[in-house]
Amino acid sequence: MLRVITLPACVCLGSPADSSLPAAYAAVVHAVHEIVVTGCENESIAISKMKEKRKQLGKKTVFSEISLEPKSMGVVRYHPTPFVSGHNIMTTPDADGAYPGKALAKAQQFPDGQGLWIQYSVKDVVSGDKLQRHMYCEKYKFNLYCGSLPASYDLRAHMSTTLTP
């Protein structure tokens, strides 16, 4: 049964079949999986793979690494924008005032390789407009490896399970 979350932020467990995803979304899922497979045991390899994938997919696609360790849960370990690194996404609201990062606490119990989608909003630094983004994350040990892109697709309609923060 599908539950619809009325909050602007959404966290959805798993991902729809690749065949049902638009190409940009499928590319992010494949890139995140490749980052996990090649770089999960070596942070410098993971970061260089994130940079490589961003060059391939374009600047609007952002890759990051988020901690799931109990003492640093939600802290962004790597992000291409330097001032974002070190922020805790569990305690920081998005541009709509929601806390989509709070649901990451549930990701601690996920098996390695489990994926989730998060919808959140950001404020454009130039125009001041609020923009919706979708971020796909895959868990490996005490990290989430994530890729985000501008929202252009109704993910909720294709999810089997949603998690509320």
- pLDDT, tens digit, for every residue of 104-153? 888 888 888 888 888 899 988 888 889 999 999 999 999 999 999 999 98
Integer Cα distance of 130 and 53 in angstroms: 25
User: Is the Cα torsion angle 158, 28, 121, 78 positive or negative in sign?
Assistant: positive
pLDDT reading at 99 higher than 70: yes
Output phi, psi for 19, to 5 deg: -65, -25
The continuous run of DSSP H or E covering 35 comes out as helix 23-39
User: Please, which residues have CB within 8 angstroms of residue 39's CB and are 6 or more apart in sequence?
Assistant: 45, 46, 47, 48, 49, 50, 145
Q: What angle do CA 97, 4, 24 make, to 5 degrees?
A: 80
Classify residue 154 by its DSSP letter. Answer: -
What is the pLDDT, as a whole number, of residue 57? 96
Closest residue by Cα to residue 149 from 27, 65, 56, 40? 27
pLDDT tens for 60-93 read: 999 999 999 999 999 999 999 888 899 999 999 9
What is the pLDDT, as a whole number, of residue 158? 60
Question: Do 137 and 146 form a contact (C-beta atoms < 8 A)?
Answer: yes
Question: Band of the pLDDT at 160, cuts 50, 70, 90?
Answer: low
What is the pLDDT, as a whole number, of residue 11? 47
